Amino acid sequence: MARRSRKDEILQAALACFTEHGVDATTIEMIRDHSGASIGSLYHHFGNKERIIAALYLEGTEQYAQLLADGFASAKDARDCVRLLVTSYIDWVVANPDWARFILHSRGRVEASERADDLREANRRHYQRILEALAEYRAKGVFRELPIDCFASLVIGPTHDFARNWLAGRTQSDLGACRELFAESAWQSVRSV
């Protein structure tokens, strides 16, 4: 297994500090102490805490986007693609619950930061990949007619809502155990009859 880069070590230390102390209460010094990085290294890679927050957010969302891209490359049909949108999300959240909580609570902060344009561009690329993966099936009429923004909400909305509640400890069912239920429900909600 490859050794983590110093940048990745700092990001993981920041996540641990944010999880334990909260984003607002975490200081650069706490992140430095937890990561073992010098203050110079921290500032070299990120500059300040807000940039660490944005980098951690963008790295997490990129991991999910990469899971999707890898899955789309081997998807056999429209059903596989739609189910993949859900299963990749669930798999990433279950494997990274602290990171997922951080992302759910930090979007507004990143949108208001100097990295807001980076976030918008990452989201644009992510949604473009999804649209491209589904375009052939949409053209063939595999999906029922609905506005594209409704399509995305129908597919991932219920899963996202349940994941938020699961991450907050407000569900009796385990998110991973509901993986197939949400994936198949997403497919049933958008397929043409």
**pLDDT tens by residue, 76-130:** 999 999 999 999 999 999 999 999 999 999 999 999 999 999 999 999 999 999 9
**pLDDT tens by residue, 9-62:** 999 999 999 999 999 999 999 999 999 999 898 989 999 999 999 999 999 999
CATH superfamily of domain region 57-190: Tetracycline Repressor, domain 2 (1.10.357.10)
Q: Do domains 1-47 and 57-190 have the same CATH topology?
A: no
The architecture in CATH of the region 1-47 reads: Orthogonal Bundle (1.10)
The dihedral of CA 173, 176, 181, 183: what is its sign? positive
Domain ranges of the chain: 1-47, 57-190
- pTM of the full predicted structure? 0.92
* CB distance 94 to 55 below 8 Å: no
Residue that is written with structure tokens 């290294």 in the block: 41
How much of the chain is in helix, strand and coil states, percent to nearest 5? 75, 0, 20
